[in-house]
């Protein structure tokens, strides 16, 4: 089209590319649609000269250009049609992800070199599974972790990945969704990195966190925490002891005196109301226990000890008293009392005089000897095995008696728990102006200590929570760390060619309560990042 006969081509000019848009010949074409080689002529003149001098039909030329010339394709389209570019781009993306992960691992404190090795091993290892069988139904959940002891430390090596459901559970699963927690007699455990070698005697033990409120108290008040709180209280009490005692002594004294009086009166009234029950219990134990069990032991074991320990001292005191006795003074007064003379009771007055002036001073001089004798006597009685066994049996039988327990409960409930007079007395005492003044002073003195105790138990509001509180939150709120399995590999034996690998392990239930083996570091307790299993459904 632009050949040698074309007058518009520059002589001896290099080959030039012409880019002609699709709408070049349309009426709406922009003024700058033709870029090379014509840039300054108007579209109308160009088209007219081109058509006259070349003899080409513009409609045919427009159709030809539309069929052969198209705009450049976007980069995404080129990538889709070019597999080599796709491969190179994918490799670059993976290299970037790996580099980013390595930088993150290097600059984080939450992952140790050991954890990095475990992560690499987890990614590259070939996983294996084994079935566990329980002789009874137990609660298991998908995601329950499996641990094994290594160098005295339990390390995670796998988790429960499937539950052996019965037919009713399978039917329920079809109607609802995947069951992740159930009472089962078997499950499947998958090892993270191939699993340890299992030998003879291998087994798996099921452990569970104690669900009682006592576990929360035990976890929150660990020995170290109790020691820390005790030190805080002791320090606060030492600093403010005199002020606290001075302020609270009258209030506490009044509370104890008034409460003791009310409780004593209530107990006596209640025992009087249940006099028939008390008499029946006393009569039954008098005949069945005291006479048949206790009295024979007292006569055979206790009385000989009393005689042996008391006889020397009693004889000594008796000799001293006898030496002070005047037969003449008692004798003639006795005869006078028997005579018909008017004044009587001379012998009685002489006896009272003798007791006050002679006998009592002798007894008082041996008071310490009597105390020592009683100590030896009690020590020997308590050391007598038969006596202690009998007394323990009688006491255990007495306090385990349902009728006695019912009596004690009724008396305690009516005398203490359901005693409106006692409750009103305590409230009246502690709502008095004296008590309020003491409480106000204590709040001012102990506010900082109470705040520090709260931070020791739960953590700082602007900082991190404590590991103990984190463990409680994980178990009670997030329902984590409820159950875990501990693998005992058994005796390691070199497998032979004819030996078959273990296909199932027996599941036993732990007899002692234990703590979940993975602790929460104080530096990581803010996020509570220890994950061990999926959420239970």
- Is residue 223's pLDDT more than 50? yes
Least Cα distance to 350 among 366, 371, 369, 329 occurs for 329
8/214: higher pLDDT: 214
Rounded-to-integer distance, Cα 524 and Cα 510, Å: 30
Contact 205, 485 (CB under 8 A): yes
Question: What pLDDT was estimated at residue 328?
Answer: 60
Rounded-to-integer distance, Cα 306 and Cα 271, Å: 34
pLDDT band at 393 (very low <50, low <70, confident <90, very high): confident
pLDDT band at 140 (very low <50, low <70, confident <90, very high): very high
Residue 470: CB atoms within 10 Å: 25
Residue 134: CB atoms within 10 Å: 18
Least confident window among 181-190, 261-270, 316-325: 316-325
pLDDT in tens, 57-69: 555 555 554 544 4
Contact 491, 151 (CB under 8 A): no
Q: H helices of 384-413, where?
A: 385-399, 402-412
Span 75-101, average pLDDT: 71
pLDDT in tens, 329-346: 666 566 666 666 666 666
- Is residue 10's pLDDT more than 80? no
Question: What pLDDT was estimated at residue 51?
Answer: 53
Determine if the peptide bond prior to 445 is cis (ω within 30°).
no
pLDDT band at 160 (very low <50, low <70, confident <90, very high): very high
143/293: higher pLDDT: 143
pLDDT band at 416 (very low <50, low <70, confident <90, very high): confident
Per the rule left: phi > 0, alpha: psi between -120 and 50, beta: everything else, 521 is: beta
Determine if the peptide bond prior to 164 is cis (ω within 30°).
no
pTM: 0.47
Question: What pLDDT was estimated at residue 85?
Answer: 72
Span 24-51, average pLDDT: 47
Q: Helix 385-399 to helix 367-383 angle, to the nearest 10 degrees?
A: 80
Residue-averaged pLDDT of the chain: 75
Q: Where are the domains of the chain?
A: 1-71, 130-209+481-524, 274-400
Contact 487, 146 (CB under 8 A): yes
User: In Å, how far are 33, 62, 458, 464 from 57, measured between CA atoms?
Assistant: 20, 9, 90, 83
Query: CA-based Rg of the chain, rounded to a whole angstrom?
Result: 50
């Amino acid at each position: 089209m632009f050949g040698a006969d074309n007058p518009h081509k520059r002589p001896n000019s290099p080959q030039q590319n012409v880019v002609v848009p699709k709408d070049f010949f349309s009426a709406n074409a922009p003024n700058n649609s033709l870029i090379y080689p014509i840039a300054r002529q108007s579209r109308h003149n160009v088209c007219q000269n081109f058509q006259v001098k070349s003899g080409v039909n513009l409609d045919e030329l427009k159709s030809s250009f539309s069929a052969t010339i198209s705009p450049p394709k976007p980069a995404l389209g080129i990538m889709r049609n070019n597999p080599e570019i796709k491969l190179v781009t994918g490799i670059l993306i993976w290299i970037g992800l790996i580099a980013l992960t390595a930088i993150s691992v290097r600059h984080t404190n939450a992952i140790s070199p050991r954890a990095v090795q475990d992560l690499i091993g987890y990614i590259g290892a070939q996983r294996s599974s084994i079935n566990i069988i329980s002789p009874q139904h137990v609660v298991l959940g998908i995601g329950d972790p499996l641990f094994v002891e290594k160098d005295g430390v339990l390390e995670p090596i796998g988790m429960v990945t499937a539950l052996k459901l019965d037919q009713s559970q399978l039917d329920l699963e079809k109607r609802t969704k995947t069951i992740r927690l159930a009472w089962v007699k078997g499950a499947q455990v998958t090892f993270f990195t191939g699993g340890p070698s299992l030998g003879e005697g291998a087994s798996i033990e099921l452990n569970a966190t104690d669900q009682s409120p006592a576990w929360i108290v035990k976890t929150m008040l660990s020995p170290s925490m109790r020691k820390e709180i005790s030190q805080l209280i002791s320090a606060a009490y030492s600093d403010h002891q005199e002020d606290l005692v001075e302020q609270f002594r009258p209030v506490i004294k009044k509370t104890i005196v008034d409460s003791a009086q009310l409780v004593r009166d209530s107990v006596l009234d209640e025992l009087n109301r249940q006099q028939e029950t008390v008499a029946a219990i006393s009569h039954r134990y008098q005949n069945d226990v005291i006479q048949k069990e206790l009295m024979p032991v007292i006569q055979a074991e206790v009385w000989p000890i009393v005689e042996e320990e008391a006889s020397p001292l009693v004889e000594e005191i008796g000799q001293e008293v006898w030496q002070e006795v005047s037969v003449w003074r008692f004798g003639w007064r006795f005869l006078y009392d028997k005579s018909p003379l008017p004044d009587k009771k001379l012998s009685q007055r002489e006896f009272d005089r003798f007791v006050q002036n002679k006998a009592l001073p002798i007894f008082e001089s041996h008071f310490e000897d009597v105390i020592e004798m009683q100590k030896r006597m009690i020590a020997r009685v308590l050391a007598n095995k038969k006596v202690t066994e009998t007394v323990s049996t009688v006491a255990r039988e007495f306090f385990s008696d349902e009728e006695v327990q019912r009596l004690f409960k009724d008396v305690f409930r009516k005398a203490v728990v359901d005693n409106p007079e006692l409750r009103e007395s305590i409230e009246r005492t502690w709502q008095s102006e004296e008590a309020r003044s003491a409480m106000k002073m204590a709040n001012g003195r102990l506010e900082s200590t109470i705040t520090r105790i709260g931070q020791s138990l739960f953590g700082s509001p602007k900082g991190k929570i404590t590991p103990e509180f984190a463990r409680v939150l994980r178990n009670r709120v997030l329902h984590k760390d409820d159950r875990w399995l501990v693998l005992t590999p058994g005796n390691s034996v070199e497998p032979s060619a004819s030996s078959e690998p273990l296909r199932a392990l027996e599941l036993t239930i732990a007899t002692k309560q234990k703590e979940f083996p993975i602790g929460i570091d104080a530096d990581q307790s803010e996020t509570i990042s220890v994950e061990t299993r999926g959420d239970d459904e």
